[in-house]
Amino acid sequence: MSNLNNISFGLGKREYSDGSGYYGQSGLKTGDATLPATITLLDFNTGLTDAEAILTAGFSLPITTAVNEGLGIQVLMDDNIVYEFKSPDPFYRNIPNGINLFLPRQVQFKVLSLNTNGNNGQSRCAIIKAKYI
């Protein structure tokens, strides 16, 4: 498995071809026991226009199925936590299917994956789709 300590973020953001918004994807991140407590999946500046967005986090099957070993995500805007989800259920039966967000202009947007001791090697990803308003 690969060590993610030197990976800061995935694709970042890309504009839609018609200019109506943007998308971003982290790509699938898989690590090993040397991973830090958080891994940055997305990190970009939102630009000059407000947007409404849907963020979807994905996780592979857990390695450890003990209680409180589920991975989580944390969403930050200008280093302030605006959303956090950490499932006590390692099988992610209650993960939100798409998180609706308002993204103000000129904000540094970041999505972190929250690790656990038992599931550092578990794969995770994040995808965001945003439309300008």
Residue written as token pair 């499932």? 87
The pLDDT value given to residue 95: 65
Identify whether 128 is part of a domain. yes
Both tokens of 59, joined, read: 């996780």
* CA–CA distance, 92 with 106 (Å, rounded to integer): 33
* CA–CA distance, 105 with 51 (Å, rounded to integer): 8
Relative to beta strand 21-25, strand 72-77 is unpaired
The pLDDT value given to residue 38: 80
30, 1 contact by CB (below 8 A)? yes
Identify whether 49 is part of a domain. yes
The pLDDT value given to residue 13: 87
Identify whether 58 is part of a domain. yes
Identify whether 6 is part of a domain. no
The pLDDT value given to residue 94: 62
Identify whether 109 is part of a domain. yes
Q: Tell me if residue 96 falls in helix, strand or coil.
A: coil
- Tens-digit pLDDT string for the chain (133 aa): 444 444 444 557 889 999 999 999 988 887 666 667 788 889 999 989 999 999 998 877 777 666 666 678 899 999 999 999 877 666 656 666 789 999 999 999 999 988 776 677 778 889 999 999 9
Q: How many domains does the chain have?
A: 1
Give the domain extent around 19: 14-132
Identify whether 2 is part of a domain. no
Kindly report the CATH number assigned to the domain that includes residue 81.
2.60.120
The pLDDT value given to residue 11: 59
Identify whether 106 is part of a domain. yes
Identify whether 7 is part of a domain. no
